[in-house]
Amino acid sequence: MSERRPLIGVTTQSLQAVEGIPAAFPASWVMNRMYLDALVRAGAAPVLLPLLADQPQVMRSLYDRLDGLLLPGGVDIEPATFGEARHALLRHTDPPRDVVELQLARWALEDGMPVLGLCRGLQILNIAAGGTLFQDVQAQRFGSHKHDYEPPDHTRDFLAHEVELVTGSRLHALAGAASAPVNSMHHQGIQRLGSGLAATAHAPDGLIEAIEAEGEAFAVAVQWHPESLEPHDEVSRALFREFVAAAEGR
């Protein structure tokens, strides 16, 4: 008998939103396989979700088949999604991805489907709950440190800083410690926290680095990239395992 693994939907990104990909290139949807590898090692069966932004009924049909939702990292989010004009330092965006991910995130929060947000995924979950973002943390948030330790200047597993974990949070329980070292590859970040969310980790400069939904349902998001740390970091592995276990329990 075949093993029944929980089905985890992983959203994709328009290839044309990636820097250096010409608009004339055939339309494609892509995603870094490190997310999928981490999910497989945690016991899940991951599936990539298309960005059918103009077909919400199809997206709902796909969503209804899932046991869990992973919102991965990627390009910047259009500020129109949280009611702001574009800042001069806004980078590449992917509007169809914004539409699809925000709808999926709202469904997951409403239904109690287990959801894990990573980097951009944290920002999507926050907007889905009515929050807002700094379009560029260093430019818009007084006293902010550098947060974009990205390739090629740094490896994806470069530990840029520590985060302080809030006592009583899922992350604190997973880490078994008051703090944890993390990588950092973002320049956007949470400005106003969304409704029904709690901040559960902070960077040394006070920026929110993790959020969890209030209540029993598993809805956790982190501003760092645990998929890049998971091969050699037990806390990252534990995060994926707990997410997959919640999806299995559903």
- DSSP line for 40-109: HHTT-EEEEEP--TT-HHHHHHHHTT-SEEEE---SBPPGGGGT-PPPTT---B-HHHHHHHHHHHHHHH
- 2: in domain: no
Bridge partners (DSSP) of residue 46 are: 8
Q: Are 238 and 172 in contact (CB under 8 A)?
A: no
**Mean per-residue pLDDT for 146-160?**
96
Domain membership of residue 58 as a residue range: 7-249
Domain count, the chain: 1
Joined tokens for residue 36: 């999928």
Which one is predicted more confidently, 205 or 20? 205
Query: Sorting pLDDT into bands at 50, 70 and 90, what band is 2?
Result: low
Does the structure show a pLDDT above 50 at 1? no
CATH number of the domain encompassing residue 199: 3.40.50.880
Indicate whether 164 belongs to any domain.
Answer: yes
Residue 27: what pLDDT? 84
Rounded to an integer, the average pLDDT of 71-81 is: 97
pLDDT value for 16: 85
pTM score, two decimals?
0.96
223 forms beta bridges with none
Residues noted as catalytic: 119, 225, 227
Q: Is residue 191 assigned to a domain? A: yes
Label residue 226 exposed, middle or buried (CB < 10 Å: 0-12, 13-18, 19+): buried
Give pLDDT tens digits for 31-50: 999 999 999 999 999 999 99
Asked if residue 223 is part of any domain, the answer here is yes
Does residue 1 sit within a domain?
no
Mean pLDDT across 10-14: 97
Phi, psi values for residue 81, rounded to 5°: -70, -20
